[in-house]
């Protein structure tokens, strides 16, 4: 039985897949295997996966009908045989010593979960994401609930929102027995399913360790994503995800902190809805964009998010934009957001 199994959900990733799989092939940890779950790809992804399985017996290929990344990961979890499990997305890549260092940290500190840092690549720019202040420390269940999980929602200070932790499941390794014994699965939500999985795993873990090392390279190839689609504005999926997370967290010692952090997240989400309407609503006239912004401003989500006073310690530009949202100044927001992003 290997010490670690890595699960890679694959869907139409033939162009990026070789870079990802080469980074797995070059791992310094040897007692490891890789489970490539082809999620009904219509390109040559399955053939690429099979090529690597032919090269190295540690690669295993699972082929399934298209069911989404969550189902693909679940399929991998319940077929793999490692003591610990980890995830890598098919369009990302990792440093060669990532899993050796993470597994070593798990065993040395007797932890169910280990997390590393992430660097994001987007439009030729590289940005290392912020790590929490308790790197190289063991967190027990209380600290996981009261310190770590709230940081996945938002940082302590709203002015640092852009530096919050990335929330996906790809920068962790998890003890597999914790997953199986607690019947933890990925949801079928369109987005956020990996966040929910990570939080559920953390809540069922006794101890975790956070490494400061930047091991995972998160690649953003397509900037015209769902987050910039009109369909994402006031998406009911958000309420569904929040309800699920509330059910998970409401009885934990950190829940009051999480509720306060959600207020930050809600304000940023409303701003992003306005940004989509103002800038990314392709093919719409200014009048229709203005109507979309007005609909956002009068929504229950906006009313709740901007009920409290705006934090004066926010960067001036964001503070002014938040005031315009609170005052429901649709036309000024349309002009201000377009100008802000044109300069960015």
CA 79 to chain centroid, in Å, comes to: 24
Task: List the structure tokens of 122.
Answer: 């987007």
- The Cα 91–Cα 15 span in angstroms is 8
- The Cα 106–Cα 138 span in angstroms is 10
Mean pLDDT (the chain, rounded): 92
Summarize the confidence of residues 188-198 as an average pLDDT. 87
- Which SS3 state, helix, strand or coil, does residue 113 take? strand
Q: How far apart are the first and last CA of the chain?
A: 51
- At residue 189, the pLDDT reads 81
Residue 172: Cβ-neighbour burial (10 angstroms; 0-12, 13-18, 19+)? buried
341: pLDDT strictly greater than 80:
no
Predicted TM-score (pTM) of the model is 0.91
14: pLDDT strictly greater than 70:
yes
165: pLDDT strictly greater than 90:
no
- The Cα 24–Cα 99 span in angstroms is 9
- Which SS3 state, helix, strand or coil, does residue 270 take? helix
Domain range summary for the chain, segments of one domain joined by +: 4-129+166-223, 227-343
- At residue 229, the pLDDT reads 67
pLDDT band for position 226 (cuts 50, 70, 90): very low
Assign domain 4-129+166-223 to a CATH class: alpha beta
pLDDT digits (tens, 9 = 90+) for 244-284: 999 999 999 999 999 999 999 999 999 999 999 988 877 78
pLDDT band for position 338 (cuts 50, 70, 90): confident
Percentage of the chain beyond pLDDT 70 is: 96
Instruction: Check residues 157 and 44 and name the one with the higher pLDDT.
Output: 44
61, 30 Cβ separation under 8 angstroms: no
């Amino acid at each position: 039985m290997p010490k670690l199994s890595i699960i890679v959900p694959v869907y139409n990733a033939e162009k990026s897949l070789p870079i990802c799989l080469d980074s797995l092939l070059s791992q310094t940890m040897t007692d490891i295997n890789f489970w490539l779950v082809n999620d009904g790809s219509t390109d040559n992804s399955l053939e690429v996966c099979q090529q690597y399985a032919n090269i190295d017996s540690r690669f295993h290929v699972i082929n399934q009908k298209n069911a989404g990344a969550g189902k693909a990961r679940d399929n991998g979890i319940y077929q793999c045989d490692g003591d610990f499990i980890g995830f890598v997305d098919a369009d990302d890549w990792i440093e060669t010593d990532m899993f050796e260092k993470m597994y070593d940290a798990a065993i040395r500190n007797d932890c169910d979960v280990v997390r590393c840092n992430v660097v994001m690549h987007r439009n030729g720019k590289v940005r290392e994401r912020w790590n929490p202040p308790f790197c190289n420390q063991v967190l027990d269940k209380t600290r996981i609930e009261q310190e770590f999980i709230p940081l996945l929602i938002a940082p302590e200070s709203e002015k640092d929102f852009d530096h919050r932790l990335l929330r996906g499941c790809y920068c962790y390794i998890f003890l597999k027995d914790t997953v199986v014994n607690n019947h933890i699965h990925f949801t079928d939500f369109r987005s956020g399913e990996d966040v929910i999985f990570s939080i559920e795993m953390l809540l069922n873990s006794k101890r975790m360790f956070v490494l400061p090392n930047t091991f995972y390279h998160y690649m953003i190839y397509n900037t015209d994503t769902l987050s910039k689609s009109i369909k994402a504005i006031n998406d009911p999926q958000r309420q569904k995800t929040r309800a699920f997370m509330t059910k998970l967290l409401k009885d934990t010692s950190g829940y009051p902190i999480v509720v306060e952090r959600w207020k930050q997240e809600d304000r940023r989400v409303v701003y992003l809805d306005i940004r989509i309407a103002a800038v990314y609503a392709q093919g719409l006239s200014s009048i229709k964009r203005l109507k979309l912004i007005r609909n956002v401003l009068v929504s229950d989500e906006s009313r709740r998010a901007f009920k409290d006073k705006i934090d004066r310690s926010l960067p001036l530009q964001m503070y002014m934009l938040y005031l315009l949202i609170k005052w429901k100044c649709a036309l000024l927001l349309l002009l201000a957001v377009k100008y802000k992003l044109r300069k960015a």
